[in-house]
Amino acid sequence: MKKSKLNERIIMELERLIAQSCGDERKSRKFTQLHVALLKKYYNAADVSIDYHRHRVTMDVIMDDEAYRPGKLNINLPVLHTNLLFGNLKSFLRSCIDRDRKSLGFYAQLLNNFKQKEQVYSLA
């Protein structure tokens, strides 16, 4: 019971942060990093770039997870260059939220890092 409430709280906080980040016309660097991290996680992508004005996301999606080695330099990864169009950024990012345990752990860590950066910016 406690875990499900915690999981829902993580999702709600992430959705709140997405709504806050999409409401600002000029995207700050921290919000852009949040958007890129969400897209990288959901699409298993590398080299994600978001063009907010043209409503376009370009990224290289890793095709074979077994070829990727985190501890090594990965030069010849099979990737698919993708160019996605989105109508509403908030809806698009919210559709990229997974509710499995591994993803929830990633989101909790992402929220924690985001809060720490927010505190550093407010102190400066």
pLDDT, position 36: 95
pLDDT, position 123: 45
Q: In what order do the strands lie in the sheet with 45-51?
A: 45-51, 56-62, 79-85
66 occurs within a structural domain: yes
**Which residue segment(s) compose the domain that 52 sits in?**
1-114
Q: How confident is the chain (124 residues) per 10-residue block, as mean pLDDT?
A: 81 94 80 94 92 95 74 74 95 95 94 74 48
pTM equals 0.83
Q: Are 39 and 96 in contact, with CB atoms under 8 Å apart? A: yes
33 occurs within a structural domain: yes
> How far, in whole angstroms, is CA 78 from its chain's centroid?
22
How many domains are there within the chain?
1
75 occurs within a structural domain: yes
123 occurs within a structural domain: no
Task: Return all residues near 121 (Cβ < 8 A) that are at least 6 apart.
Answer: 30
